[in-house]
Structure 1
Amino acid sequence: MRSPPPEVLASWPKPNYVDPQRRGNEGVIVQAILVVLVTAIVIIRLYARIVITRAGIGLDDAMIIISWVFAMGLTASVMLAIKRYGWDIHVWDLPPKDMVTSRMISWASMVLYMTTASLAKASILVFYLRILVAKIDKIVTKITLGVVVVYYIAAFLILCLQCRPLQHYWEILIPKSAGTCIDESIHMITSAAFNILIEIVIFLIPLRSLFALRIRTTQKVHLISLFSAGLLVIAASTVRLVYVVIIMRKSYDVSWYGYAGWLWASIEVHVSIICACVPSCRAFFVAWNRSSSKGGSKTGGPSGTYPSGAGRSYNNIEDDVMGLTDRRLGTQAMVSARSRRSESEEDSMEGTKGVTIQMEVMQFEEEYQKEVRKSRAQNSKA
């Protein structure tokens, strides 16, 4: 934290400890909405993985659960600091008795932010390793995952070692506090910028395989849209970087601008978790759409009655689908599904060239579309 020079201190108005100007409740409202939304999305993801697809809890799911726990801790600490320790007022209105506690919460919040953001990135990359089987994609994904791990360890060590002793970080405003600290602005700005670079790489990794998929244009658009949600994370991270620069380089009013900075940090990590969950949640919404369609009219369309065996729950459908959907790019697509009950295989076409990608986010929609076509064929014959 930079100490304001005398001329800046002289320009500050008289402190108002009774009724200071405040930012308002927008930050608390936004974060409360995010908590509810993220919690619901994580629950849907786990339900889809355990009940609908019966895939069980994987490493990426475990990482998201832990990331969600730290995200809730981050939100709680930021809300506490806003409501109790003056993160929504001007720095000159911050009571001296709250300055130390405010700095302690700031340090803890940075640990929570780094942990939940890194876990969300790692979860997405582990998910990539499961669905992307092209050698180049796997290599890039593994390298990026290694960079995320190294980035987290380095940022955590810098945060712990930037002041000697550590408590000098939150006691720095106490006149008689003994200790030294490095320039916080250097690693904070560098870390925020590097964080954006990692997010851009994570966003770009699957695009090559997605664009090369030989599937219907509408399906391709849907899939690319799912993975393009990462652009929201990049946007939030960029806004956060702007406020980090303002806090560290442009203004000494750290509590006033820090309010917006922490709000965007919270938005970033929560949106990251949502983006990590969206592909896995697709099976839930397809299943929900099927359940709604079963109660519709008997028209032979998506809301019509399914033929025998088509109205089974997704638990049973998952019993019939062995493995994930394989697609070979650059030639004809191959889609193979095997029934455990009938032990019969559908006709398949196998490509000879191109990159392979396993798209588990598509398998249930494909089963749904097959049943719709069968239903329409039966109704037309009738």
Structure 2
Amino acid sequence: MRLPPPEVLASWPAPNYTNPQTRGRALIIVELITLPIALICLGLRLYARIHVMGRSEWDDWMMVVAAFFCIGVTTCVVLAYTRYGWDIHVWDLTFDQMVAGRQVSFAAQALFVPATLLAKVSILISYLRLASKDSWFRRMTSDPVTSYWNLMYTQRDCVSELATTMSQAITTAIADFIVWVLPMPALYRAKLPLAQRLALITLFSFGLVVVVAACIRTYWIHYVIEETYDVTWYGFQLWMWTAVEVQLGIICGCVPWLKSLVKFWRNRNVITDLTDKSNPKAGRSRFDGRRATMPKGGTVVRLDSHGTRSTNEDRRPTIDKGAAVEMEKKREQEREREMEMQMQRNRGGAEYVDLESGSGEYLDTAPQTLPPDTPGLAL
């Protein structure tokens, strides 16, 4: 924020401390919607990785740390909005509000960098699965640091706020674009059916929304710092897109991992429906709705509406448990197969198990082949 020259100060209207014009509640609504969605996506990702897939990696916990910084950014934005007038004109602020608001802004900028950095690094670490195999803190923005929020300092040595924030914003937008486009060639060349490849590319393409948010944020940084002195009024847009960029980064980094969770829930619901004895529809044929039982020989016997066997079906004796017994056998076989695959992975073998088809066969480990724990592929 620049200290306005006298002619700009003279053009401002008289301050209205009692009933100032406000921007409305759009900022607080965006913050309180996007942050819970980001945290829910993160929780589902951890559940899918730890409970469903049985393991977690560095990128998962790096995203958790990024979420903590994201919460800090959101807290600063909400605090500045509710307490320090970051939704009203700057001439309607008291001096104490202006100083406190700048302090909160300083803290938010300090938290924003690690939040976006860790989210991007987490996504880049996830991309590794697509492959075949002066002082850093001494340089401050202002000297003394307090002169950043106290504009009345007569002797202050500050780096150009426009240069530093614009360079950071442009770098972030470029990095967002690189992170978004980086896995596309590997996904396109992957030895997968075309429909599956397109589905994966679509999942990863959600990152384009983050690129758009970063570009909009870059515009508002330039406008707030260079084009206006009414930073609290127009900074409303800047803070809103800052929150959107940070939280969408976490959401987009978690979305590709949720496919395995959806498949897990879907398969569990199918098994529950077929084995639930209290469900009157359990064991019914999905084609004609008539009850079917499974005989010892394995032939399905259909019963007509009077409870007698159809004349064109095998008349061998039936058993009462029917499809439930068969499903229980399949579940046991599936558990044994999963244990064998887990033992194979623990032995450090070079082969990858085809978890998508569940066949238990080994896949070709050519550079274009995706390992089974690729985001969006693992069950």
The verdict on a shared fold, with TM-score over 0.5 as the criterion, is: yes
Equivalent pair of 1:53/1:314 in contact (CA under 8 Å): no
Task: For 1:244-323, list aligned pairs within 5 A.
Answer: 244-294=221-271, 295=273, 298-299=284-285, 307-311=327-331, 318-322=338-342
Question: How many equivalent residue pairs?
Answer: 324
Task: Name the SS for the 2:370 alignment partner.
Answer: strand
What is the aligned-residue identity percentage?
A: 32
Equivalent pair of 1:168/1:179 in contact (CA under 8 Å): yes
Show the counterpart of 1:200. Answer: 177
1:132 to partner: Cα distance: 1.9
Distance 1:240 1:315 in 2: 49
Show the counterpart of 1:115. Answer: 114
Equivalent pair of 1:64/1:123 in contact (CA under 8 Å): yes
> 1:270-312 CA deviation, whole Å, 9 max, x = no partner?
01001111122221111112223332765479xx988445447
Distance 1:26 1:287 in 2: 37
1:321 to partner: Cα distance: 3.5
Task: Name the SS for the 2:13 alignment partner.
Answer: coil
* Aligned equivalent of 2:142, options 158, 163, 170: 163
Matched, 1:81 2:80: yes
1:88 to partner: Cα distance: 0.5
Residue type of the alignment partner of 1:350 = D
Task: Name the SS for the 2:51 alignment partner.
Answer: helix
Distance 2:98 2:63 in 1: 33
Matched, 1:336 2:339: no
Matched, 1:91 2:64: no
1:349 to partner: Cα distance: 6.0
1:235 to partner: Cα distance: 0.7
In structure 2, relative to structure 1, the CA distance for the partners of 1:291 and 1:313 (3 Å cut) is: farther
In structure 2, relative to structure 1, the CA distance for the partners of 1:48 and 1:179 (3 Å cut) is: same
Show the counterpart of 2:38. Answer: 38
> 1:258-278 CA deviation, whole Å, 9 max, x = no partner?
111011111101010011111
Residue type of the alignment partner of 1:336 = V
> 1:189-235 CA deviation, whole Å, 9 max, x = no partner?
11101111111111121111101123222211210111111101101
Equivalent pair of 1:54/1:315 in contact (CA under 8 Å): no
Task: For 1:163-202, list aligned pairs within 5 A.
Answer: 163-172=142-151, 174=152, 176=153, 178-202=155-179
Distance 1:258 1:202 in 2: 27
In structure 2, relative to structure 1, the CA distance for the partners of 1:132 and 1:310 (3 Å cut) is: same
Show the counterpart of 2:315. Answer: none
Show the counterpart of 2:130. Answer: 132
Distance 1:53 1:92 in 2: 56
1:59 to partner: Cα distance: 1.0
Equivalent pair of 1:229/1:275 in contact (CA under 8 Å): yes
In structure 2, relative to structure 1, the CA distance for the partners of 1:72 and 1:318 (3 Å cut) is: farther
Q: Which runs of 5+ in 1 are unaligned?
A: 136-152, 325-333, 339-343, 366-382
Distance 2:336 2:55 in 1: 13
In structure 2, relative to structure 1, the CA distance for the partners of 1:217 and 1:103 (3 Å cut) is: same
Show the counterpart of 1:26. Answer: 26
In structure 2, relative to structure 1, the CA distance for the partners of 1:177 and 1:269 (3 Å cut) is: same
In structure 2, relative to structure 1, the CA distance for the partners of 1:309 and 1:21 (3 Å cut) is: farther
Distance 2:146 2:340 in 1: 59
Distance 1:293 1:177 in 2: 72
Equivalent pair of 1:51/1:315 in contact (CA under 8 Å): no
Equivalent pair of 2:131/2:367 in contact (CA under 8 Å): no
1:22 to partner: Cα distance: 0.6
In structure 2, relative to structure 1, the CA distance for the partners of 1:225 and 1:346 (3 Å cut) is: same
| Two-structure CA RMSD over aligned residues (Å) | 2.9
Equivalent pair of 1:52/1:314 in contact (CA under 8 Å): no
Distance 2:175 2:146 in 1: 31
Show the counterpart of 1:238. Answer: 215
In structure 2, relative to structure 1, the CA distance for the partners of 1:252 and 1:128 (3 Å cut) is: same
Matched, 1:212 2:189: yes
Distance 2:245 2:332 in 1: 39
Distance 1:11 1:362 in 2: 57
Equivalent pair of 1:85/1:98 in contact (CA under 8 Å): yes
Distance 2:255 2:329 in 1: 29
Distance 2:170 2:19 in 1: 37
Distance 2:168 2:19 in 1: 36
Distance 1:274 1:286 in 2: 19
Task: Name the SS for the 2:212 alignment partner.
Answer: helix
Equivalent pair of 1:286/1:364 in contact (CA under 8 Å): no
Deviation above 6 Å: which 4+ runs of structure 1? 312-317
1:178 to partner: Cα distance: 3.8
Distance 2:207 2:96 in 1: 41
1:318 to partner: Cα distance: 4.9
Distance 1:253 1:314 in 2: 64
1:335 to partner: Cα distance: 6.7
Q: Which runs of 5+ in 2 are unaligned?
A: 275-280, 288-322, 346-350
Equivalent pair of 2:190/2:369 in contact (CA under 8 Å): no
